[in-house]
């Protein structure tokens, strides 16, 4: 060995000695400074305090979604058997799992392994992210092509589970692997079971010696304060983060066991409702005792006040369900369905919005499997997520466009012979009573003459026709706070996107919104509101205001937002709405002695896959009182076999709304607790 190598060895040895000495001094200093004053402190860490979500109330302060206190079973690392003492940990878990299962109480089981009907272990379906983690370097460190059996055997070996039956091996492995996954330690307690009954909590506390480190934590739980089937698509639901959501949101402070909005307002207003988590310091003493000190309390999320009147919403749903189930005769789909919407035309406030059929979202976890199998798709929001041709309800907008662009006047007539021919193609007008007659604007609305609007469309041209339809909001999202679709505004550009050429016959069809046009009930309702208020299209709003959790502060007041102004004169618009008023007074199913309204019906015919012939959907738009409108209503009923059905129902809606002086709760005073 040369002198250089010898010198290097001496330096290395000296460095090692110095490092050991420094480490010894550091340990001594720690015990003297931290543990020496009484000798009680071993380790101290900060841990989060979950925040309760904000509540959701209706326009009168009626609670819709609230929080209640719940007991969760949690493991705390200070007293819980260490990961190195696998036998003790497995014994405790085995006893606790069987205790809960004997009471038919669920515990959090996230292992993506299940037994099939033959008792063979398999990967759980739709669990790719969990399976990838199980196989990863962080957990089992097995090959990507490892089977479920390979992973199961690796878990048995890792957690010393050989002495247990296969079913118990799987359960123990589920908890053990999740403890590892979540980094179980003093500052990171593990949640084992949610919302356990109080008597079970008492039993575990009485047997604390058998369950060291098993404790309870009082947490807020989301609860529906009203029946869950009244507006499930609007309110939405919360659930635990899935692995994909956690990977995306952990940088924003979300934790693996957090809940998040999954649908409806719970999802769309997540940032508003979530609240701000607090902090507490957990200290583990040298004698094994745990103490917790709140450093920063959590702050509940903001309260969301809706424009929706719960009483009106509930009545509208019940009336719609009763009417459609008992009146609609065409049962080729074997179920009744549709939507009904009531807007305030003066500011865009959504007063009620029903999608039918409905379901009880408060029981979602229990019924989700059955929901997926139902042909009537109750989870689907037909008011905002379905689009259909609007039938003759489109005609007032075409009349407005034609008047404003000097294609017609109030006295213009078109001769209706029952058909309209363009380029050899014949288009029909089903109103036999008008055949061989000159039809003017008034009668084109009251008798719903197709020929009149075929002529208007051809003389206007598709570009001008669609320019005004854009002003009215057709074929575009309304901007409501909820998930919605844009629908389809048929146009040369749309046809080009399909690889098709725009034909002149499509312009004729566009006059009565056939062809490729398909709009949502919400778009059609907002169009009715725009006609009612003189041509201003507002953004529909479900949310009225955002308040602090204790209602002492208004965080945000949702002012009306104008989306567009239709370029139409008051004179021309009045010509059209006067005709709609005349129509309402002359329609036997719609006419009311109690309410002065304007309205227009519409019938859409379409093919249904697997069914013979065409089915008919019924539409109706309306607003009232005519001279000073307070509400605009859109009713859409699938398979209604014509618009007379929607007319009779819409009359009921108006009469109920304007006779409701004692029907609903009075608005609650500002800055008062909700009862």
CA distance 675 to 664: 15
Over residues 406-417, mean pLDDT: 95
**Phi and psi (nearest 5°) for 60?**
-100, 5
**What is the C-alpha to C-alpha distance for residues 594 and 589, in angstroms, rounded to an integer?**
14
Q: Name which of 374, 479, 451, 459 is nearest 408 in CA terms.
A: 459
Bond preceding residue 235 cis, omega within 30 of 0: no
643 pLDDT above the threshold of 90: no
Q: For the chain, what are the domain ranges?
A: 40-80+184-306, 88-183, 310-360+374-657
Least confident stretch, 172-176, 192-196, 364-368, 643-647 = 643-647
Taking residues 505-534, report their average pLDDT: 96
Quote the mean pLDDT of the chain.
Answer: 89
Predicted local distance difference test score (pLDDT) of residue 180 = 93
Contact (CB, 8 A) for 473 and 526: yes
pLDDT of residue 341: 98
Mean pLDDT of 127-146: 93
Question: Residue 435 — very low, low, confident or very high, per pLDDT cuts 50/70/90?
Answer: low
Answer whether 40-80+184-306 and 310-360+374-657 agree in fold. no
455, pLDDT greater than 50 = yes
Confidence of residue 29 (pLDDT cuts 50, 70, 90): very low
Using CA atoms, how far apart are residues 631 and 625, in angstroms rounded to an integer?
Answer: 8
Return the CATH superfamily for domain 40-80+184-306: Penicillin-binding protein 2a (Domain 2) (3.90.1310.10)
Number of helices (H) and strands (E) in the chain: give both, helices first.
21, 25
pLDDT of residue 434: 60
Give the H/E segment covering residue 550.
none
Cβ-proximal residues to 549 (8 Å cutoff; 6+ apart), any chain: 52, 54, 55, 275, 299, 300, 301, 302, 303
Q: Is the pLDDT of residue 150 over 70?
A: yes
**188: region left, alpha or beta (phi > 0 left; psi from -120 to 50 alpha):** beta
Backbone dihedral angles phi then psi of residue 125, each to the nearest 5 degrees? -65, 150
pLDDT tops 80 at residue 674: no
Alpha-carbon dihedral sign for residues 109, 115, 120, 126? negative
Task: For residue range 363-377, list pLDDT tens digits in order.
Answer: 998 899 899 889 889
**310-360+374-657: in CATH 3.40.710.10:** yes
Q: Where does 34-160 have alpha helices with state H?
A: 86-102, 128-135, 148-158
Between 36 and 451, name the one with better pLDDT: 451
**Confidence check: pLDDT of 67 > 80:** yes
Can the peptide bond before residue 625 be classed as cis, meaning omega within 30 degrees of 0?
A: yes
Residues 659 and 315 sit within 8 Å (Cβ to Cβ): no
Q: Give the per-residue pLDDT at 425.
A: 92
* Rounded percentage of the chain residues whose pLDDT exceeds 90: 73
Per residue in 132-153, is it b (16+ CB within 10 Å) or e — as a string?
ebbbeeebbebeeebebeebbb
Q: What proportion of the chain, given as a percentage, has pLDDT over 70?
A: 89
pLDDT at site 325? 87
Q: Are 657 and 316 in contact (CB under 8 A)?
A: no
Alpha-carbon span 121 to 243, nearest angstrom: 22
- Torsion over CA of 165, 166, 167 and 172, rounded to 10 degrees? 90
The 10s digit of each residue's pLDDT in 299-336 is: 999 999 999 999 999 999 999 999 988 887 666 666 78
Write out pLDDT tens, residues 464-484. 999 999 999 999 999 999 999
Structure tokens at 498: 């399909």
């Amino acid at each position: 060995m040369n002198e250089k190598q010898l010198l290097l060895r001496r330096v290395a040895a000296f460095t090692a000695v110095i490092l050991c000495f420094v480490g010894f001094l550091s340990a001594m200093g720690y015990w003297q400074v931290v543990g020496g004053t009484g000798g009680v402190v071993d380790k101290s860490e900060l841990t989060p305090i979950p925040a309760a979500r904000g509540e959701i109330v209706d326009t009168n302060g009626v609670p819709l979604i609230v929080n209640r206190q719940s007991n969760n079973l949690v493991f705390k690392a200070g007293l819980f058997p260490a990961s190195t003492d696998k036998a003790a940990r497995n014994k405790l878990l085995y006893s606790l799992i069987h205790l809960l299962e004997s009471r038919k109480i669920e515990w959090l089981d996230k292992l993506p392994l299940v037994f099939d009907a033959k008792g063979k272990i398999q990967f759980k379906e739709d669990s790719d992210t969990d399976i990838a983690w199980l196989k990863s370097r962080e957990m089992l460190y097995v090959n990507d092509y490892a089977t479920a059996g390979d992973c199961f055997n690796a878990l048995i070996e890792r957690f010393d589970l050989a002495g247990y039956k296969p079913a118990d091996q799987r359960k123990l492995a589920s908890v053990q692997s999740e403890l590892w996954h979540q980094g179980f330690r003093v500052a990171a307690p593990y949640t084992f079971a949610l919302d356990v009954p109080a008597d079970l909590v008492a039993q575990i506390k009485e047997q604390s010696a058998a369950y060291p480190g098993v404790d309870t934590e009082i947490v807020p739980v989301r609860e529906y304060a009203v029946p869950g089937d009244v507006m499930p698509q609007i309110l939405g639901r919360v659930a635990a983060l899935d692995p994909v959501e956690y990977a995306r949101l952990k940088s924003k402070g979300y934790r693996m066991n957090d809940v998040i909005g999954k649908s409806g307002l719970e999802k769309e207003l997540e940032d508003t409702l979530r609240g701000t988590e607090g902090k507490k310091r957990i200290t583990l003493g040298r004698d094994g005792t745990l103490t917790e000190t709140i450093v920063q309390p959590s702050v509940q999320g903001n309260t969301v006040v809706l424009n929706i009147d719960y009483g009106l919403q509930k009545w509208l749903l019940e009336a719609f369900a009763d009417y459609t189930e008992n009146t609609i005769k065409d049962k080729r789909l074997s179920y009744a369905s549709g939507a009904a919407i009531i807007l305030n035309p003066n500011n865009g406030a959504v007063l009620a919005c029903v999608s039918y059929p409905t379901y009880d979202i408060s029981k979602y976890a229990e019924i989700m499997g059955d929901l997926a199998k139902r042909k009537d798709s109750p989870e689907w929001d037909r008011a905002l997520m379905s689009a259909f041709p609007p039938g003759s309800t489109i005609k007032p907008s075409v009349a407005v466009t034609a008047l404003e662009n000097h294609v017609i006047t109030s006295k213009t007539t078109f001769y209706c012979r029952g058909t309209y021919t363009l380029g050899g193609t014949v288009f029909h007008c089903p109103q036999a009573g008008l055949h061989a007659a000159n039809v003017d604007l008034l009668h084109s609305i009251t008798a719903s003459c197709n020929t009149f609007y075929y002529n208007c469309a051809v003389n206007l041209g598709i570009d001008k026709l669609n320019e005004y339809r854009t002003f009215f909001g057709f074929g575009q999202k309304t901007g409501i706070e909820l998930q919605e679709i844009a629908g389809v505004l048929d146009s040369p550009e749309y046809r080009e996107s399909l690889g098709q050429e725009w034909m002149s016959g499509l312009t004729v069809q566009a006059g009565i919104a056939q062809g490729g046009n398909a709009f949502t009930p919400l778009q059609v309702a907002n169009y009715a509101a725009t006609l009612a208020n003189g041509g201003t299209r507002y953004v529909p709003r479900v949310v009225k205001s955002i308040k602090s959790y204790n209602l002492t502060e208004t965080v945000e007041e949702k002012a009306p937002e104008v989306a567009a102004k239709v370029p139409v004169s008051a004179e021309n618009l009045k010509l059209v709405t006067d005709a709609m008023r005349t129509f309402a007074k002359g329609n036997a199913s719609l006419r009311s002695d109690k309410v002065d309204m304007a309205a227009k019906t519409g019938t859409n015919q379409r093919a249904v896959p697997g069914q013979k012939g065409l089915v008919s959907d019924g539409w109706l738009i309306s607003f009232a009182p005519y001279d000073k409108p307070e509400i605009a209503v859109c009713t859409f009923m699938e398979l209604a076999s014509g618009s007379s059905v929607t007319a009779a129902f819409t009359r009921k809606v108006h009469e109920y709304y304007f006779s409701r002086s004692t029907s609903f709760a009075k608005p609650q005073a500002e800055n008062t607790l909700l009862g």
